[in-house]
Amino acid sequence: MIATLFSTGQLNAPLGLAVALAVGFCFGLCLEKAGLGSSRRLSGLFLLTDMTLAKVLLSALVTAALGLVAAQRSGLIGLDAFSLISTTLAPQALGGAIFGLGFALAGWCPGTAAVGLGSGRMDALVFLAGVVLGSIVYGEAFPWLAPLASVGGQGVTFLNQTLNATTDQVVLGLTGAAVFAFWVCEVVERGPAIARPGVGRLFLAGFSALLCLGSLVALNLPRVSIPGGQHISGASNIASNNTSGQANGRTTGQNSEQTTGGQNALGVSPEARILADAEAGKGRLEPVELARRLMARDPGLTLVDLRPKAEFDAFHLAGASNISMSQLPEVMADKRGQGLIVLCAAGTTRPAQARDALARLGFDNVVILGGGLQEFFEQVLKPASLRDELFSAEAAAKIQTARQFFLPAELSRPQAPGLLTPPGPLPGLADATWLAQSLNKPGLKVVDLRPAAQYDSGHIPDSLSLVPDNLRGNVGGLPSQLLPGSLLARHLGLMGITPRDLVVLITGRAPQDATLAAMALERLGHSRYVLLKGGMAAWTASSLSTDKALPKVTATRYPAPETADDAPDAFTVNGLEVLTAMTDGKTVIIDASPADAYSGDLPGDGRSGHIPGSVNRPFTEDQAAGPADTVTVRPLDELAKAYAAIIPGKDRPVIVLSRTGRDASQTWWILSRLLGYTNVKYYGAGWAEWASHPEWPAVASPPPAKQDKKS
Amino acid sequence: MSDTHSPDNSQAAAESPAPDAGVHASGPRSDRSDSQIPGAPPMNPYLAGMFLGLTLLASYLILGVGLTASGGFARMGAWLEHKLLPARVETLVSIASWFPAPLSSYLVFMVLGVFAGGLLSALTAGRMRFTVERGPTATCSRRLILTLVGGLLAGFAASLAQGDVLGQGLSGAALLTTGGFVFLGCFLAAGYLAAWAFGRQWK
């Protein structure tokens, strides 16, 4: 393995500048010798009068490509020793096209114009003035072009990846295409418009054969290597091998295993792909790794914060220095190639720009903080009590240590115990006094289920508005179904709710809205919730404060439950299951619809009536008017007595349904969550689905004698 | 395709460029008759290309970067702009990082090398002429205006694509990167289209 000046960070050191001067000299010499110091000859490319440029470029392209493939195949050099330009389709395609236009107009490109200037061509001087101006224009226009400049970005990609071919196929194809193009060029050039050196057929045939032979040799060079990652391509290279290893270690900022693996994996196409992928992910350091190194006080690590000074002063990571992008190269000059420079800001855009800019200055040891400071907070500093997942005591202690290390003392004090203490068993009921005491405690989320207008005119401070119907939608053709868990989880996440939050459900005068929301939480396995007894009316009756401000919410990722499509949760049953249960003789089917709907007296249903054998217990029967115009569920003992009369035992299978599932949610909740019935299922699709199946039996009967018709 | 140029060439080479240079600089007297590019005939393009390829290979193996000229000119542009509007440049994201010393970059030194190589080769081969190269019917001002516009476009495009036809096209494609080939393809397509539209200047 040999190390390049790029990989050792010496590109802009005196040695690098001297070599660049020498390489440039040979470059200019070759161009001039080929006669490319003449715009007349150059423009012949597009006028098809003089194909010298095509011949020179293609010949150089194939020669260099074969040499590079051979160098990699033999293990002489690795891809990571090269400064690779990433593929960014839009600017490269557009840039190529505009450049082609400019070339056709002027007859020059910057390299040949430098040679042309050396040959005394004044048009080359004018062209170069244009080039300098054009690059200034680009710099000025960059703020507007920045979005375009990243369109089609793919990281470093190679033609074989894009074409889904092997490197061998690409190299052979390229050689073949070049040889073909040579012969085409010779045919295309008609007449000696410009003095051209004579190229005999014999020479061209020989040259073509040489390139083809060269490609075969390059692709089949044996790898000079020793198992264990040491590559020797010459006796003198052992020393430089070591240098290269160190340089790469600095460059990647990752462990040396990865680098060694990369070096072993050179040359062959799939491995080159892996390497390129590693290359693409190479410029970043993950927050957890940065935290580990900072806490270990790694002396080789330089952390630079690119944010404005005010933001830096407000908070920064311990050990970070605040340097603006324009000063960066100067301040960091002595760190070029030394250790690892980590750039951070709130996000990653500016650090990535600065990293790439530094890379062009020959800083090969610059990485950015992956995900920026935001992600650092999320992954390293977020207290265990605010995270979605539950932590072991050990892991939580680790987080606390990190908080103490990075955060100012007043922020890093241990939080109040992770979980908020509920008023009683969960799920359950809570009263307004408890809620008033618990407001503003972390881990409490108050969800207001009243219509938006009522919420807007005054709500419990920091409560979140949620219209219950937003929890339902058309699922598989059935209207008004509780949405699948994944959507509900997304919804809760957007509201900033986490599985560890204690959710308080507030309604106006309809407890069934709260129980419907409770069904949604149950579907997600979220049992840390309570219903506010008496709803909002109980709150206002206690003269507790309300406000009109909207709460500040940071979206979370609420984990979605893993469920099958046909069984969204453990308690919901479908129509076919109800049909089976109807005749099994054990299951008690309770219809929570209003009595007139149950009996079939209520017009408007597609088909009126109820499931044969089902018992009507209207949901309103379970509600009672409380003090101060509140509506709440009846006292527990009354409910227990009423349902004991309907259901013979606490473990008897029960199915509850109503017209659309909202009313039944209250019955389900009372039975399973307040009264302790253990086998209560919820037919959410309810009568809306049942009535649409003419083959499923239904009866319409007069209502039971004792019925107070309130709905 | 023929090898019958040698008599002309020896004649041209015999007329040493040094005394002529001043004459050409003072007036475009000989431009009209300049249908043949003066001096020794160029080298066999395939061999010159092979040497260029070897130079590129050496650049990659020693420096780790490809050949490029546009980057150096962009640096010069930034330097120039900084001389004129120092405060302005600090705010430009794409070039602010080149400062404080935009010129102490390998890109600039490579361009200087290209110029020196071209100068030496042109002098030794007798191809040095102070002249504005143009087609027989094009006026000098028209030629220079088209050249300036072309240069503007090329400089802008090279910054946009992070390289010119040599830096992005040749050097990128030699490493078989996709971007290099995309650039070359679009370069050729647009070039032929434009030559079809603007090619008259050389006829």
So what's the pLDDT on residue A259? 33
Q: Could you give the CA distance from residue A540 to residue A545 in angstroms, rounded to a whole number?
A: 8
Q: Which two tokens stand for residue B74?
A: 């962009």
Q: Is A588 helix (H, G, I), strand (E, B) or coil?
A: strand
| Backbone φ and ψ of A448, nearest 5° | -100, 115
Whether the CA torsion A698, A702, A705, A706 is positive or negative: it is positive
Residue B119 tokens read as 């100068």
By Cβ distance, the residue of B157, B170, B183 closest to A102 is B157
- ipTM value, please give it: 0.83
d(C-alpha B101, C-alpha A642), whole Å: 88
Q: Are A253 and A130 in contact (CB under 8 A)?
A: no
**Residue A648 buriedness (CB in 10 A; 0-12 / 13-18 / 19+):** exposed
How many CA atoms are closer than 13 Å to the CA of A378, on its beta-carbon side? Answer: 15
- Joined tokens for residue A260: 């060694």
Contact between A69 and B114 under an 8 Å Cβ cutoff? The reply is no
Please tell me if residue A482 touches chain B, with a CB cutoff of 8 Å.
Answer: no
pTM reported for the whole predicted model: 0.49
**Are the C-beta atoms of residues A499 and A558 closer than 8 Å to each other?**
yes
Q: Using the beta-carbon criterion (under 8 Å), do B98 and A33 form an inter-chain contact?
A: no
Q: How confident is the model at residue B126 (pLDDT cuts 50, 70, 90)?
A: confident
Tell me the DSSP string of A130-155. Answer: HHHHHHHHHHHHHHHHHHHHTTTEEE
DSSP for A614-646, please give it. PEE--GGGGEEE-GGG-EEEPPHHHHHHHHHTT
Residue A195 in contact with residue B40, Cβ under 8 Å? Answer: no
Confidence (pLDDT) at A123: 92
Q: How many whole angstroms separate alpha carbon A102 and alpha carbon B148?
A: 9
- CB B176 to CB A186 under 8 A? no
Residues 6+ apart with CB under 8 A from B148: A106, A126, A127, A129, A130
The per-residue pLDDT for range A630-667, each reduced to its tens digit, is 888 888 889 999 999 889 888 899 999 998 889 999 99
Give the residue with greater pLDDT, A6 vs B99: A6
* Sign of the CA dihedral running A264, A266, A268, A273: positive
Distance from CA of B168 to the nearest CA of A (A): 8
Cα distance from B84 to chain A (closest Cα, Å)? 12
Q: Is A154 on the interface with B (CB under 8 A)?
A: yes
pLDDT tens readout for residues A317-345: 877 888 888 788 878 877 777 788 888 88
Task: Name the 3-class secondary structure at A529.
Answer: strand
- Nearest CA-CA partner of B133 in A133, A98, A196, A112: A112
User: What does residue B9 show for φ and ψ, rounded to 5 degrees?
Assistant: -65, -45
The C-alpha atoms of residue A122 and residue B45 are separated, in whole angstroms, by 24
- Tell me if A561 sits within 8 A of A525, measured CB to CB: yes
Amino acid at A144: W
According to DSSP H, which parts of B126-199 are helical? 140-160, 171-174, 178-198
Token code pair at residue B27: 């007036």
Token pair 């290309």 is found at B49
What integer pLDDT is reported at residue A374 of this predicted model?
84
Q: Does B82 lie at the interface with A, CB-CB under 8 angstroms?
A: no
> Sheet of A340-344: strands edge to edge?
A284-285, A366-369, A340-344, A301-305, A320-322
User: What letter does residue A568 receive in the DSSP assignment?
Assistant: S
Amino acid at A596: D
- Are the C-beta atoms of A438 and A447 separated by less than 8 Å? no
Query: Cα angle at B199 between A42 and A49, to 5 degrees?
Result: 50
- Of A619, A622, A624, A623, nearest in space to A594 by CA: A619
Residues A172, A214: Cα–Cα separation, whole Å: 10
DSSP string, A407-452: S-HHHHSPPS-SSPPPSSSSSEEE-HHHHHHHTT-TTEEEEE-S-H
Place of tokens 């799939």: A270
Looking up tokens 């114009």 gives: A113
Three-class secondary structure of residue B36 per DSSP: coil
Distance CA A215, CA A174 (A): 10
Is the peptide bond between A442 and the residue preceding it cis, with omega within 30 degrees of 0? Answer: no
Question: Mean pLDDT, consecutive 10-residue segments, chain A of 711 residues?
Answer: 80 89 94 90 85 92 93 84 84 93 90 93 93 91 80 81 87 93 83 63 89 90 53 36 37 35 35 45 79 82 86 81 82 78 85 81 82 84 72 76 74 53 81 86 89 90 91 87 89 88 90 92 89 88 86 84 73 89 87 86 71 90 82 88 89 91 92 90 90 84 48 40
Closest CA to B158 of B93, B82, B74, B81: B74
Structure tokens at A326: 């324009």
- A2 near B CB under 8 A: yes
**CB-count burial class (<10 Å; 0-12, 13-18, 19+) for A230:** middle
Residues A387, A388, A391, CA angle at the centre, nearest 5°?
Answer: 70
Beta bridge mates, A615: A590
Are the CB atoms for B140 and A134 separated by under 8 Å?
Answer: no
Q: Is B138 on the interface with A (CB under 8 A)?
A: no
Cβ <8 Å between B155 and A37: no
Q: How many interchain CB pairs under 8 A, A with B?
A: 617
Tell me how far apart the alpha carbons of residues B158 and A125 are, in angstroms, rounded to a whole number.
Answer: 17
Candidates B36, B94, B168, partner chain A, best to mutate (most A CBs within 10 A): B94
Positive or negative: CA dihedral B152, B153, B155, B160: positive
Burial A401-410 (b: 16+ CB within 10 A, else e): ebbebbbeee
Q: Please answer whether residues A232 and A238 qualify as being in contact, where contact means their C-beta atoms are separated by less than 8 angstroms.
A: yes
Per-residue CA distances from A349 to A173, A343, A370, B24, B104 (Å): 38, 11, 11, 53, 26
Amino acid A243: pLDDT: 37
Q: Strands, E, within B10-148: which ranges?
A: none
| CB atoms A4 and B60 under 8 Å | yes
Angle at A273 between CA A271 and CA A274, to 5 degrees: 65
CB contact under 8 Å between A105 and B134, yes or no, is: no
Distances in Å between the alpha carbon of A43 and those of A28, A103, A196, A320, A535?
18, 8, 14, 54, 83
Whether residue A84 contacts residue B65, with contact meaning beta carbons closer than 8 Å, is answered with no
Of B4, B51, B194, the CB nearest to A100: B194
Q: Between these two residues, B72 and A625, which has the higher pLDDT value? A: B72
Give the Cα separation of A169 and A175 in Å (integer): 10
Which member of A40, A64, A198 has the closest CB to residue B133? A40
Tell me the β-bridge partners of A564: A567
> In chain A, which residue's Cα lies nearest the Cα of B179?
A87
SS3 of A444-467: EEEEECCCHHHHHCCECCCCEECC
- Substitution target from A92, A268, A350 for chain B, most B beta carbons within 10 A: A92
- Asked whether the beta carbons of residue A34 and residue B187 sit closer than 8 angstroms, the reply is no
With H, G, I as helix, E, B as strand and everything else as coil, classify residue A124.
helix
**Residue A192: what pLDDT?**
52
